[in-house]
Chain A
Amino acid sequence: MTILTFTLILLLGAYLAGLAGSLTGLGGGVVIIPLLTLFFHVDIRYAIGAALVASIATSSGSASAYVKEGITNIRLGMFLEIATTAGAVIGAILAIYTPVNIVAILFGVTLIFSAAMTLRKKHEGALTEGSRLSYLLKLNSSYPSKEGVIDYKLKNIGGGFSIMTLAGMLSGLLGIGSGALKVLAMDSAMRVPFRVSTTTSNFMVGVTAAASAVVYLQRGYIDPGIAFPVIIGVLAGAFTGSKLLMRIDVKWLKIIFSFAITAIALNMIYNGFNHKF
């Protein structure tokens, strides 16, 4: 295989990753890492570098639209970014001491968890009473919907903050956006309405990934020959996805994609235990 064929296949894979990511909410890294390691047999460290680049591209690309619509809670995002960036830096340091097969196994487990999270029923209702901390930190807000502006209040800020630290660590260690964990922290712990938690999670992924990407870039994980088809493919895919999202029902797509992800994850865990990385 020449570099040209490698690039073209990777470009197509990254396009599909961006497309699937923007339609199902699972970030680009979820597809990029298995594609590079299982299909191309690329070292998992190069794959992590590529996945971080993919995460930032997807996040910034789609967040630019959501932020303008006023759904994203910028204050909540900024406050929780303290937890995710600190976690990401710790995760990137831990990555030096973690054997690659352990990284692969952890990645597989996170994938299965993310797939399950995608299929879970989400909270839609908005709380009318928030906790004391939610007022102190000015985290309560409102968002536009078809039925008009909906006000919401938040609770359990501490719980959400702790889960976010864990999400940041995984993100730094594995090179993924860990959007599923971020949504769990906001949706289940803090009771942020579904639309707000998904868009705010997306908004935060870019900053979390950038915090660890800086470390990975300096460590030589980001290879230009892998990075450029990933950036272009993911951006084009995410753009197509955001256009399609208005017109198609993604329910079945989410179910099929979740099963595919689970199969890939089991493969990675199996290879991890057999030291095939």
Chain B
Amino acid sequence: MNTNKETKRVTDYDMQQLIGQVLRYGVLISGLIAIIGGIWYLFQQGSGIPEYGVFHGEGEGYTSLTGIIKGLSNGSATEIIQLGVVILIATPIIRIVFSLVAFGLERDKLYVLITLIVLSIILFSMFGGLSI
């Protein structure tokens, strides 16, 4: 019983380290991409006038993954930034996927279920036709 508890502790500790790494790298990568895209964007449009007083919503190129990838292949600075944004938003979601795997390895059925519920709510908001 005692040894069993010990091995479980090690796994919980491993999960903490892993989740810490996922969050750190996600943030670093998205920050770097935002810097690269941002500098390029300023170089191209820095002398323009910002117009954010009226909301018109962003175009297809910035709001869907396929649009962003298409823009990237054209070398568009703003779409490089949006890629950074998408990675930033994806970081906590990837964190959940890693937790799911870790709870699975720990054979913690209850928490595999709980994590699956959280993941499905997020997937629902991604694909559930909420992009009106």
Contact of A74 among B19, B24, B59, B81 (CB under 8 A): B19
Contact yes or no, B85 A1, CB < 8 A: no
Contact yes or no, A64 B85, CB < 8 A: no
Contact of A46 among B13, B47, B52 (CB under 8 A): B52
Chain A contacts for B64, CB-based, 8 A: 218
Interface flag for A243 (CB, 8 Å) = no
Quick one: closest A residue to B115, CB to CB? A78
Q: Residues 38-70 of chain B: 1 if any A CB is under 8 Å from the residue's CB, otherwise 0?
A: 100110011111101111111100111000000
Quick one: closest B residue to A217, CB to CB? B63
Surface stretch bound by B, among A53-61, A182-190, A244-252, A263-271: A53-61
Chain A contacts for B96, CB-based, 8 A: 78, 81, 207
Contact of A1 among B45, B50, B62 (CB under 8 A): B50
For the residues of B in contact with A, the DSSP-based class is helix
Contact yes or no, A220 B111, CB < 8 A: no
Contact yes or no, A207 B92, CB < 8 A: yes
Interface flag for A215 (CB, 8 Å) = yes
Contact yes or no, B41 A223, CB < 8 A: no
Contact yes or no, B45 A227, CB < 8 A: no
Contact of B49 among A2, A82, A92, A220 (CB under 8 A): A2
Given A45-B55, A86-B121, A93-B130, A222 contacting B46 (CB threshold 8 A):
no
Chain A contacts for B55, CB-based, 8 A: 43, 45-46
Interface flag for B72 (CB, 8 Å) = no
Quick one: closest A residue to B100, CB to CB? A78
Q: Residues 3-23 of chain B: 1 if any A CB is under 8 Å from the residue's CB, otherwise 0?
A: 000000000110111011101
Chain A contacts for B122, CB-based, 8 A: 85, 207, 210-211, 214
Contact yes or no, A206 B121, CB < 8 A: no
| Interface residue tally for chain A (C-beta within 8 Å) | 66
Chain B contacts for A7, CB-based, 8 A: 38, 42, 46
For the residues of A in contact with B, the DSSP-based class is helix
Contact yes or no, B19 A214, CB < 8 A: no
Q: Residues 104-125 of chain B: 1 if any A CB is under 8 Å from the residue's CB, otherwise 0?
A: 0000101100110110011011
Chain A contacts for B86, CB-based, 8 A: 217
Contact of A138 among B52, B92, B110 (CB under 8 A): B110
Q: Which of B77-95 contact A (CB under 8 A)?
A: 78-79, 81-82, 84-86, 88-93, 95
Some 27 contacts from A to B, beta carbons below 8 A apart, are: A2-B46, A2-B50, A3-B45, A3-B46, A6-B50, A40-B52, A57-B31, A60-B91, A64-B20, A74-B99, A81-B118, A82-B118, A85-B118, A93-B130, A96-B132, A137-B110, A206-B92, A207-B92, A211-B121, A211-B125, A212-B125, A215-B125, A220-B62, A224-B78, A227-B84, A228-B34, A231-B84
Residues of chain B touching chain A, judged by Cβ–Cβ distance below 8 Å, are 12-13, 15-17, 19-21, 23-24, 26-27, 30-31, 34-35, 37-38, 41-42, 45-50, 52-59, 62-64, 78-79, 81-82, 84-86, 88-93, 95-96, 99, 108, 110-111, 114-115, 117-118, 121-122, 124-126, 130-132
